[in-house]
Amino acid sequence: MLTKKELKAYCANASENYLPHISIDCVVFGFHEGLMKVLLSEMKNEGEWYLPGGFVLKSEPIEMAANRILKERTGLDEIFLQQFYVFGAPERSKEHFEMYKDMLPPKENWFSNRFLTIGYYALVDFCETNPTPDQFSATCNWCDLNDLPALKLDHALILTTALDTLRLQLNYQPLGYNLMPKEFTMPELQKLYETILDKKLDRRNFQRRMLAFGILKRSEQLRKGGAHKAPYLYSFDLENYEAALKEGFKGGW
């Protein structure tokens, strides 16, 4: 929690520079050791978890605002980012205001306003990410998607909606370029799909279908060092991948 002085400075600055009533919240997905991860901030008040978010500068495109916010939280540029929904219930941000309402009168208090929040989801390479807390947070950390803390405000809804959108997306678009490292094996990619869909897929059928999409290039190298037969390394054929992103696939999983 901020001190009164900090809060006052923050609110003055916010009112000066940001569009009122509008916020951005980001659901940042990563994938590591077979688990889906989401980036969460824990407030300085212990036990309060939020999605990373922020506000839109008065003459900044919203897409750029989302990128800026994510750059601050992850250190990454050129993130795969997708707007997916606006959450606009009138009381959705009230709980947040309650926290600060005794410290500043509503008129000066940025958080006394109603906020519509624009939801973006991001797909990032877990290993490249450098999670960094903001001014309000004690920590910014990866959490397992299937072992999440309770989230404040409507952030659980935002997260669920993002996940639903991601799963739907899987049915007509390629996915993985932004979540996987440069090179990966077919079983690793399969694990990603299985994790997102939360179900087992057949190894052989997965491979056949994935290759049929024509978005993978097989390296002649193998991943050595594993305890068993060395699998081939693959990478995405970026040209075909981009084309497939635009065109879309046919069937679903």
Partner DNA sequence: TACAATTGTGTCAACAATACACTAAGAATT
Partner DNA sequence: AATTCTTAGTGTATTGTTGACACAATTGTA
Positions touching DNA (CB under 7 A) are 185-187, 202-205, 207-209, 212, 222, 224-232, 250-251
Task: State the minimum distance, in angstroms, from the CB of residue 210 to DNA.
Answer: 11
Shorter beta-carbon distance to DNA: residue 44 or 218: 218
- Report how far residue 232's alpha carbon sits from residue 186's, in angstroms, rounded to the nearest whole number: 7
* Residues listed for the chain: 253
Task: State the minimum distance, in angstroms, from the CB of residue 247 to a second copy.
Answer: 12
What number of CA atoms fall less than 13 Å from residue 126's CA on the CB side? 17
Shorter beta-carbon distance to a second copy: residue 2 or 170: 170
Shorter beta-carbon distance to a second copy: residue 58 or 218: 58
Angle between helices 203-213 and 186-197 (to 10 degrees): 100
What residues line the site for a second copy (CB under 8 A)?
19-22, 56, 58-63, 83, 85-86, 88-90, 114, 116, 118, 168, 171-172, 248, 250-252
DSSP helix/strand/coil, 151 = strand
Residues whose CB is less than 8 angstroms from the CB of residue 225 and which lie 6 or more positions away in sequence, other chains included:
none
Pairing of strands 53-57, 18-32: antiparallel
Task: State the minimum distance, in angstroms, from the CB of residue 86 to a second copy.
Answer: 5
Shorter beta-carbon distance to DNA: residue 20 or 187: 187
Q: What single-letter DSSP state applies at residue 231?
A: P
